[in-house]
Structure 1
Amino acid sequence: MKLSRRVVLGATLAAMLLTGASSAFAADSDMVLFKVVTADKDDVIIGLTESQLTAAGGLNAGIVGKMLVASGELAAWQYVVSRNDAGELIEAPTNWISIMANDAVRIEPYQAEWPVTLPAGE
């Protein structure tokens, strides 16, 4: 994915989070993670809180897709595998990103293999 496209994705996801979007379930937190696949076959893992998803109508990929189509963009936390202070693998939020509706082809639930951490302040 080109840098400029990533910037646009980040800004769009940020807007969605401010309006109450979320992602697929995470076992040890109230974050729900989803994989968003673009027309260019790029993918990004995003996280939204259960409360944001519940407010939008449910805790599934269909709700996230409806939110994206309704507003034309979606803001969320981008998640990547990282290491915590103890050196253990975790799913960690790295960037507040935005996804444009015309870039997303598919949104699917994502089951993290590692513990999911919340963004600071969540």
Structure 2
Amino acid sequence: MKKILLSTSLLVFLFACTKQETNPKSSSLTGKWALSLALTNASNGNGFCATAKEGKTIEFFNDGKVVANNSLCLTDNNQQSQATYDNTFIYPSDCQNVKLEYAIEAEVLTVTYPCIEGYVEKYTLTSE
């Protein structure tokens, strides 16, 4: 009986659940991304190209932090911005109650801003 109990305990220990990483830190996201395209009125599928802010970058780090060389809020603020991120959203520290949805498809990072008329920025990876 002791052998069965010991064997069962050993099996449970060996196959126990492992702790999963709670931070997203996708290797495909980590690195510096440069703004390549801005679309307004993107919500209706007929997006209009807007002038992309020249030189705007967003850098993602493995520790869940984000640094942008311009504000991540929809303002003309050209000051550096910091944020955190998870698997779906970026949370800028300089915008109250704002979260920006992001996705990567075909090596293009798309950041969607929460506004009525729709505003999307597209970035390409410049370095890792």
**What TM-score do the two structures reach when normalised by structure 1?**
0.29
Q: Which has the larger radius of gyration?
A: 2
**What TM-score do the two structures reach when normalised by structure 2?**
0.28
Query: Of the two structures, which has the highest relative contact order with CA contacts closer than 8 Å and spacing of 6 or more?
Result: 1
Larger fraction in helix: 1
